[in-house]
Amino acid sequence: MTAAGRPVVFVDHRFPAEYADLVEGRADLVGLGGDDGLARADGLLVGAARRWDGPALDAAARARVVSRIGVGYDNVDVGAANARRITVCTTPWAPAVSTAEHALALILAVTKRLPAQIERARRAERAEPVGRALELDGRTLGLVGLGRIASRVAVAAQALGMRVIAHDPLLDASAVPGVELVDLAALLAGADVVSLHAPALPETHHLIGAPALAAMRTGSYLVNCARGSLVDTDALLAALQSGHLAGAGLDVTEPEPLPADHPLLARADVVVTPHVASSTVAGRRRLYQHSIDNLLAVLAGGPADVVGERFPAPIDEIPDERSMP
């Protein structure tokens, strides 16, 4: 704490000036891309670039909380934090709306063949003599995962007239009315568009590899706004090159970013965005707001309002998303 009684918060990146009002009078920020102040920080506000393992946490000897600006613990060793009695929080609700909208945008972009059509317009060419875009009304969307983001995608897809099926091993009943839960094999075989919304775990690494891609319908589409490691990039490229898949929309890739000369980037049937699904004006502000609120709530002795794993035990109840700002 400072002499004024405000907590010292270490930020492992440059803090955006437009969010200064979220901490003004509430905390003193240090670090901001360097290491100054790490040893005296009461809490850590961290992005996705820097790894926070045991040695890094030992350097933050006073820290009682690590608050991730985002979803997932890819760069935070939760076990090492818990062993040091450090709470770890994430912001699972903050990016849900923006990411769901981005997933829908990618679905529309690839099924309507927008990259190819934009190129034709730039070359002053007329429309293709035979329409090859997919009309989504009456088609089937398969959601791999049916959590916060995918549930919103499901509702939007239903509004477009799509049938929606989903695979989620954590659910025994659909979270969205009208969505049928199926096993992964049935989803891959039955969907015209497969959209991925699963976490990055050892068991989901390359979940969509050559066998899964071969099981998808000929002429179907793949969209990934979750984690790049879910998809075997080489196998995806081969499925596109063979014509088995009609297209792909990717906000996340493996590796990330893709090299500038990667073949996927040159394909007219592929849309790649640089992991920006949550980067709307409202989405980015919510990420910072929730992560700061989490950090300060834990330092004040209470639970984080929007929490992931925390020491000594996870919060049992997470607030309804509709109640979040």
Q: What confidence score (pLDDT) does residue 19 get?
A: 96
What is the Cα–Cα distance from 8 to 166, expressed in whole angstroms?
A: 44
What's the pLDDT at 127?
Answer: 74
pLDDT at residue 71, as a whole number: 86
Question: Among 227, 284, 290, 310, which one carries the catalytic annotation?
Answer: 227
Residue 227 is a catalytic residue: yes
Whole-structure pTM value: 0.85
Q: Which residues contact 316 (CB under 8 A, 6 or more apart)?
A: none
Q: Sign of the CA dihedral 275, 279, 285, 286?
A: negative
Task: Determine the pLDDT at residue 321.
Answer: 32
Q: What would the two tokens of residue 123 be?
A: 């070359």
**Amino acid found at 42:** D
Beta-bridge mates of residue 223: 195, 249
What does 127-184 look like in DSSP terms, one character per residue? PPSS--PPP-TT-EEEEE--SHHHHHHHHHHHHTT-EEEEE-TT-SS-SSTTPEE--H
Domain regions of the chain by residue span: 8-94+281-323, 96-272
Q: Is 197 a catalytic residue?
A: no
The H or E element spanning position 286 is helix 281-299
Q: How confident is the model at residue 74, as a pLDDT?
A: 83
**What's the pLDDT score for residue 309?**
40
3-state secondary structure at position 46: strand
List the chain pLDDT tens, one digit each, 325 residues: 665 689 999 999 999 999 999 999 999 999 998 999 999 999 999 998 899 999 999 999 999 999 999 888 889 999 999 999 999 999 988 999 999 999 999 999 999 999 989 888 999 988 776 678 999 999 999 999 999 999 999 999 999 999 999 999 999 888 899 999 999 999 999 999 999 999 999 999 999 999 999 999 999 999 999 999 999 999 999 999 999 999 999 999 999 999 999 999 999 999 999 999 999 999 999 999 999 999 999 999 887 654 444 433 232 332 333 222 2
Residue 128 confidence (pLDDT): 73
Q: Hey, which CATH number is domain 8-94+281-323, 3.40.1390.10, 3.40.50.300, 3.40.50.150, 3.40.50.720?
A: 3.40.50.720
The residue whose two tokens read 């549930």 is 151
Q: By the 8 A CB rule, do 268 and 119 touch? A: yes
Same fold, 8-94+281-323 and 96-272: yes
262 part of the active site = no
List 206, 275, 285, 309, catalytic entry: 275
Catalytic residue among 40, 256, 309, 321: 256
- What was the pLDDT predicted at 317? 31
CA 244, CA 230: separation in Å to the nearest integer?
Answer: 19
Gap between the Cα atoms of 201 and 229, Å rounded: 9
Q: How confident is the model at residue 1, as a pLDDT?
A: 66
Residue with tokens 């035979």: 130
Half-sphere exposure of 227 (CA within 13 A, CB side): 18
- Per the listing, tokens 């995608």 go with 153
**Residues paired with residue 68 on neighbouring β-strands, in sequence order:** 46
Fold of the domain spanning 96-272 = Rossmann fold (3.40.50)
Predicted local distance difference test score (pLDDT) of residue 72 = 81
> So what's the pLDDT on residue 311?
35
Q: What angle do CA 9, 12, 13 make, to 5 degrees?
A: 115
Strands 28-31 and 43-46: unpaired
